[in-house]
């Protein structure tokens, strides 16, 4: 049966794909269907026709899988924040570990048994220390509203998360179980306050309005709680009043910040900011080190799992006192400082100015002297001149973005043949792509998956590479 676009069909889900979609096979052709679980028998409709596969939309679960559960959140079926709430957590871990093994074998051409059992998260809900909500003038309609015969108005003051694939429509949240429950309670309060006081949401089409984003950050190891109100205009009188009401309703809040983003870009990073209450930052810890986290600074979203991830990298690196290590794509230096524990000298390289500034502050405030941070684009900075200046390292740790390392960096690492190379990745497919090249110069001894984001398909993996002799 050659499935055509728009065609409806029934099938059984056999497995899961990396992006959380279920996979069915129709006459040998792979069909990807979101919102399904292995063992489901479903009815679906083809929405994309490709030469080697099809993508389909789930219409109905005819016979649920024995591994399907009821999601905790009422928004789970339509929200892009959680793709796997309908799958038990032990099965999520099983599927994620399987994805890493599949990439290692299929893309990197390595034996799948080098992949170690996945390190799971002790708290599969309420684990995030940061949530970024958006405001908008159009809300995403429910399935029931979409199927009504009569017209349903979608214009409203909406606050929540963007509907999957839509920048202009907001899923109007009334619950969320990824961050501490106080997070969506604050969201609900701000939404109600704005509606009661006629404070408009920002309209992305007409570029008018006021409220753009609400970012909430909470500390894992301290009681700090930040509210960051991102607005299109600068109105300190209005913001001060809202701040006072928030503090009355939620005395747990330790700092309130107003970022003003009067530019067309959709980010929650303001062109400038005002501190309305408190110090303007929160404090948290990773591995005994203290970090000041400002509104727009990067910090690992799952603090407890970040420690497990870093422990794995530190163990694989096996750094000794007096040794030298490079930390590529070092960000604000959280992993870099962690690596200094062994008494070795660590040099971090990072492109972003503010990240380097934060990294130096973090090192100084933690009294770390055996560390140095260098600003530069990895493909241009990590060169012969850099090696002449700093010397050849005993170990290199690399933690690139989702797209993986630039081909020039991969080539340089292959040529350098440092004793030990530790590859931390948030995308096992691009990691496997790079390992396929690096395996010519290094033995890939182990790959350790670490689940940083329960209820989603995302998975981190740490690979240990040792120079071939």
Q: Any idea which residues carry the catalytic annotation?
A: 426
Give the tokens for residue 110: 């390595």
435 neighbors 444 (Cβ within 8 angstroms): yes
* Residue 317: how many other CB atoms lie within 10 Å: 25
Task: Name the β-bridge partners of 54.
Answer: 31, 49
In whole angstroms, give the CA distance from residue 232 to residue 204.
11
Rounded to a whole number of angstroms, the distance between the first and last alpha carbons of the chain is: 53
Alpha carbon of residue 431 to chain centroid: 16
Q: Locate tokens 């960051």: which residue?
A: 228
């Amino acid at each position: 049966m050659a499935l055509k676009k728009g065609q409806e069909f029934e099938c059984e889900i056999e497995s899961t794909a990396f992006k959380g979609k279920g996979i069915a096979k129709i006459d040998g052709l792979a069909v990807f269907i979101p919102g399904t679980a292995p063992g489901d028998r479903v009815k679906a409709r083809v929405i994309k026709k490709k030469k080697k596969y099809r993508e389909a939309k789930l219409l109905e679960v005819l016979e649920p899988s024995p591994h399907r559960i009821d999601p905790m959140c009422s928004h789970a079926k339509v929200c892009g924040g959680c793709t796997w709430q309908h799958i038990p957590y032990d099965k999520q871990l099983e599927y994620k570990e399987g994805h890493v093994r599949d990439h290692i074998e299929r893309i990197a051409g390595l034996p799948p048994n080098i992949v170690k059992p996945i390190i799971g998260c002790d708290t599969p809900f309420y684990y995030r220390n940061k949530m970024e909500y958006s405001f908008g003038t159009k809300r995403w309609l429910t399935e029931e509203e979409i199927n009504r015969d009569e017209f349903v108005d979608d214009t409203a003051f909406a606050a929540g998360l963007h509907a999957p694939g839509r920048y202009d429509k907001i899923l109007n949240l009334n619950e969320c179980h990824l961050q501490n429950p106080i997070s969506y309670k604050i969201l609900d309060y701000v939404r109600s306050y704005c509606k009661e006081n006629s404070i408009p949401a920002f309209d992305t089409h007409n570029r008018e309005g006021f409220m753009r984003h609400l970012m909430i950050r909470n500390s894992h190891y301290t009681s700090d709680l930040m509210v960051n109100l991102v607005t299109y205009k600068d109105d300190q009188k209005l913001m001060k009043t809202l701040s006072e009401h928030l503090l009355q309703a939620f005395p747990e809040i330790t700092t309130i910040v107003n970022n003003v983003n009067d530019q067309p870009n959709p980010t929650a990073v303001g062109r400038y900011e005002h501190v309305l209450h408190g110090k303007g930052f929160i404090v948290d810890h990773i591995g005994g080190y203290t970090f000041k986290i400002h509104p727009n600074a990067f910090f690992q979203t799952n603090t407890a799992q970040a420690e497990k991830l870093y422990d794995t990298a530190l163990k694989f690196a096996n750094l000794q006192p007096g040794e030298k290590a490079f930390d590529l794509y070092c960000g604000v230096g959280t992993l870099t400082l962690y690596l200094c524990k062994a008494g070795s000298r660590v040099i971090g390289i990072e492109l972003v100015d503010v990240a380097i500034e934060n990294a130096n502050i973090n090192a100084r405030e933690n009294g770390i002297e055996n560390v140095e941070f260098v600003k530069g684009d990895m493909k241009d900075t990590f060169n012969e001149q850099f090696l002449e200046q700093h010397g050849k390292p005993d170990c290199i740790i690399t933690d690139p973005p989702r797209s993986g390392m630039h081909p020039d960096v991969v080539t340089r690492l292959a040529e350098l043949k440092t004793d030990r190379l530790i590859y931390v990745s948030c995308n096992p497919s691009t990691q496997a792509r790079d390992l396929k090249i690096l395996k010519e110069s290094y033995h890939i001894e182990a790959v350790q998956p670490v689940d940083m984001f329960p209820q989603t398909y995302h998975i981190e993996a740490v690979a240990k590479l040792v120079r071939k002799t």
